[in-house]
Structure 1
Amino acid sequence: MSQRNIFYLLGRILLAPFALIYGAVVWLRNRLYDAGVFSSIEFSPPVISVGNLSTGGTGKTPHVEYLIQLLQYRFQVATMSRGYKRRTQGFLLADAETNALRIGDEPMQYHMKYPELVVSVAEERITGIPRLLQKRPNVEVILLDDAYQHRSVKAGVNVLITDFSKPFYADHILPMGSLRESRSAYHRADVIIVSKCPPNLDRAVANDMIAKINPLSHQKVFFTGISYRQPYDFFSHEPVSLRGKSAVLVCCIAKPEPLVRYLQDEMKQVHVLSYADHHYFVSKDLEEIKEAYGNFEAEGKVIVTTEKDAARLHLHYEKLKEWNVPIIVLPIGVSFLFNQGNEFDNVVLQYVEQTIAENNQMFYGSQEI
């Protein structure tokens, strides 16, 4: 056994007691919900929860955006997120004065990208949803972002996302692994999405993963891959091309490797400046970025960043504009493999349409009485 494997094994042994304690606490909490000691509240509008068992990096945000795009032209849609690393507390609705510091980078990304979307944040969804419906009674569908562990709210559809490279069934509970709760918690999901799959994923490999997931009879398993969309200028929002250019990539995402590989295939040269996930840029960071760009000896050089990072860079909009350098935003989306997109859409739309129809029938039926 190599020295590295020995240290890894020793680390796992040392962390095992902490994982046992953490797992026991989470197990007890879930059992109390299952037994009805802790109650879950169901709200009238259709509620779809998107989340994961691990601590991050599964590609949750582009899947939420997929749902927004699917639903926004049919219904008045609202998102509710915790607002990770925001500088505020409690329930907030996004408005014209909103920035990433107030609501968090991912909600800000939704707010900037979808003008008709109602974007809200609240640490406690159980109290946030009534506030949302009080302020925006026309909301017809609520998307709960990163809420798989928020069992106080009973979602109509629970979407669980797991990373192809590290599926939940091969992971361990914190701190031994990255799972927030035990593997068996996948039972609560209605839909399981294996994300970040290679675009040419073999069907036999997918079937093997399905067998290891061992879905319950009511659960559907889908496979998605990352797809990079039309890049656009940070300042003008005009579409631009990456071809023939070289990039200083500025990113603060949990797993930047696929993005780096994509840019290396698309562009001449790529210099990477990677920061911690959800990192808020300070003056020192901006100077580092400016210096890296200035020292980057490459033809057609530009700064490239993701939409999530752009939401935080927007806090320094005026200063960045003074640099007079091209900054390109690269959107990240998802594509369903094996022609599963329509099937997933139907699962979501049937639930939403049926729930709204039942609510209307109850409302108008009670008026007639």
Structure 2
Amino acid sequence: MLLWPIALLYGFVIRIRNLLFNINVLKSERFSLPVISVGNITVGGTGKTPVTEYVIRLLKDDGKLALLSRGYKRESQGVIVAHGLSTAAEIGDEPKQILDKFPDVTVCVAEKRVDGICSLLAMEDRPDIIVLDDAYQHRYVNPGLNILVVDYHRPPWRDCMLPAGELREPMNGKKRADIILISKCPENMSADEQDKFVRRMKPSDMQGVYFSTIGYQKVRPVFEDALALDSEKLCDHSVLSVTGIANPVPFEDHIARLVGEMSVMRFPDHHLFNENDIEKIALRFSEISNENKWVLTTEKDAVRFRQVLPSSSNLRKCLYYIPIEIKVLSNQQEEFKDKIITYVKQNKRNR
């Protein structure tokens, strides 16, 4: 109850800020190339990163593509265009993950997205398409296509403003979205349940609402010198789950379905693992008596482990991660793709 007055004040400030942008007192800048924003109105753990990767995977062969992110929790400041040796500490774990997975994509981080876009456009090999990661509230840029990601398990009508709840802005902020993607849905979500969800979201006639689920891929080693692991035969194995993400529960539930026994270690979201953390993980791992034992982590955490785990650590040989991708449900995938591709084709400029 003590947080409610602060939440009301915060909500009032955000409404005034949005109003000032809506009436052009505060200026949004639009650019003459396709700019796609992927974001949310809820803090942490909505599944935004796999959506960003989905868009990149969809468009990366249609021209020179750039990702622009704030680089949350990075130790640097200003505009940085990443290169092969950039670290998670320098550019942030999510940009580093995308840099590693998509080496042909230009990755840039900047607190001020307008400065970041201007820096990208000043490059000799400037991009044809820019994807903005986590920029829904960064209204100084007016993207041509706004994708709003909403967590199925945390619908905005059940939430309230920070700090009493998890909303970054009031639910009516969804009006700025061109596409509303409901993430982390049950794979067998019925048409009736989807209809009920849409009615509660109250989209406009111009907004497309789509439903997606998380697809867990095969287990992969974090380091090349890892021991061989058949991810199809884990039922009699023991696993230590180590995560530093906002909502590790779905990841842990997935592991629990694969293995015979699971222990859990949780760290804060975007946690930069240090030597003390590694010692604690190694100690916890050594306490597992099963000879068939492994450490499983998320793809985002794997990026940070690669930066800090020394070559002498025995954990390198038994540390694995599970990549994830989104899957659009109810035969909506082609429609979802087409909406993005059509926007790009209609707004792409000739070099």
TM category (shorter chain) comes to: over 0.9
Distance in 2 between residues matched to 1:124 and 1:116, nearest whole Å: 24
> 1:314/1:189 Cα in 2 relative to 1: closer, same or farther (>3 Å)?
same
Question: Does 1:43 pair with 2:31?
Answer: yes
Work out the CA distance in 2 between the residues paired with 1:137 and 1:111: 17
* Counterparts of 1:330 and 1:324, CA distance in 2: 15
- The equivalences for 1:344-359 within 5 A come to 344-356=336-348, 359=349
Within 5 Å, which residues of 2 pair with 1:93-172?
A: 93-135=81-123, 137-172=125-160
Does 1:261 pair with 2:253? yes
- Pair 1:323–1:55, CA change in 2 (3 A): closer
CA contact (8 A) 2:175 2:204 kept: yes
Tell me which residue corresponds to 1:225: 213
Question: For the residues of structure 1 that align with 2:106 and 2:93, how far apart are their CA atoms?
Answer: 15
* Residue type at the aligned position of 1:263: I
The residue aligned with 1:339 is 331
Paired residue secondary structure (1:305): strand
Of 233-242 and 103-112, the range deviating more from structure 2: 233-242
Counterpart position of 1:274: 266
Separation of aligned partners in 2, 1:223 and 1:324: 37
Percent identity of paired positions between Structure 1 and Structure 2? 39
- How far apart are the structure 1 equivalents of 2:125 and 2:142? 19
SS in 2 for 1:325: helix
**Superposed counterparts of 1:286-325, under 5 Å:** 286-319=278-311, 321-323=313-315, 325=317
* Equivalent residues of 2:223, 2:317 under 8 A apart: no
Q: Does the C-alpha gap of structure 1 residues 281 and 184 become closer, same or farther in structure 2, counting only changes over 3 Å? A: same
How many angstroms apart in 2 are the aligned matches of 1:320 and 1:25?
51
Higher helix share: 1
What amino acid is aligned across from residue 62 of structure 2 in structure 1? R
Structure 2 gaps, min length 5:
none
Counterpart Cα distance in 2 of 1:312 and 1:217: 42
- Which stretch of structure 1 is more off in the superposition, 229-238 or 251-260? 229-238
How far does residue 237 in structure 1 lie from its aligned partner after superposition?
Answer: 8.8
TM-score, normalised by the number of residues in structure 1: 0.91
**1:320 Cα deviation from its structure 2 partner:** 6.0
Q: In the aligned structure 2, how far is the partner of 1:114 from the partner of 1:173?
A: 35
Counterpart amino acid of residue 209 in structure 1: F
The 1:324–1:46 alpha-carbon spacing in structure 2 relative to 1, beyond 3 Å, is: closer
TM-superposed CA distance for 1:75, in Å, is 1.9
Q: Distance in 2 between matches of 1:91 and 1:37?
A: 26
Distance 1:237 1:39, change over 3 A: farther
Q: 1:318 to 1:145 in 2, by over 3 A?
A: same
CA contact (8 A) 2:38 2:146 kept: yes
Deviation at 1:322, TM superposition (A): 5.0
The equivalent of 1:241 in structure 2 is 230
CA RMSD of aligned residues (A): 1.6
Measure, in 1, the Cα distance between the counterparts of 2:247 and 2:240.
Answer: 17
Q: Residue by residue, what CA displacement relative to the aligned partner does 1:134-172 show, whole Å, maximum 9, x if unpaired?
A: 125431111100000011101011000111111112211
Gaps of 5+ in 1: 1-10, 364-369
Helix, strand or coil at the partner of 1:119: strand
Report the counterpart of residue 167 of structure 2 in structure 1: 179
Measure, in 1, the Cα distance between the counterparts of 2:337 and 2:216. 20
1:250 aligns with one of 216, 235, 242 = 242
Q: Note if contact 2:82-2:106 (Cα within 8 Å) is conserved in structure 1.
A: yes
User: 1:268 and 1:207 mapped to 2: Cα distance?
Assistant: 38
Q: Does the 8 Å contact 1:269/1:298 carry over to 2?
A: no
Verify the 8 A CA contact 2:159 2:165 in the aligned structure 1.
yes
Query: Shift of the alpha carbon at 1:240?
Result: 4.8
- SS in structure 2 of the partner of residue 32 of structure 1: helix
The CA deviation string for residues 18-65 of structure 1, in whole angstroms up to 9 with x for no partner, is 112111111111111111111111111200000000111100001001
Cα distance between partner residues in 1 of 2:149 and 2:320: 28
- 1:324 and 1:309 map into 2 onto residues whose CA distance is 14
CA distance in 2, matches of 1:353, 1:317: 44
| 1:28 pairs with one of 6, 13, 16 | 16
Please state how far the C-alpha of 1:299 moved relative to its aligned partner. Answer: 4.0
Partner in structure 2 of residue 58 of structure 1: 46
Question: Contact 2:309/2:316 (CA < 8 Å) preserved in 1?
Answer: no
CA distance in 1, matches of 2:230, 2:215: 16
Q: Which residue of 2 aligns with 1:213?
A: 201
Q: TM-score, normalised by structure 2?
A: 0.95
Letter in 2 for 1:342: E
Count of residues in Structure 1 that have an aligned counterpart in Structure 2: 347
Larger Rg: 1
One-letter amino acid matched to 2:321: V
Q: Deviations over 1:170-220 (max 9, x none)?
A: 211112211111111100000001111111111111100100101001000
Contact 2:36–2:144 at 8 Å: present in 1 too? yes
* Distance in 2 of aligned mates of 1:324 and 1:41: 46
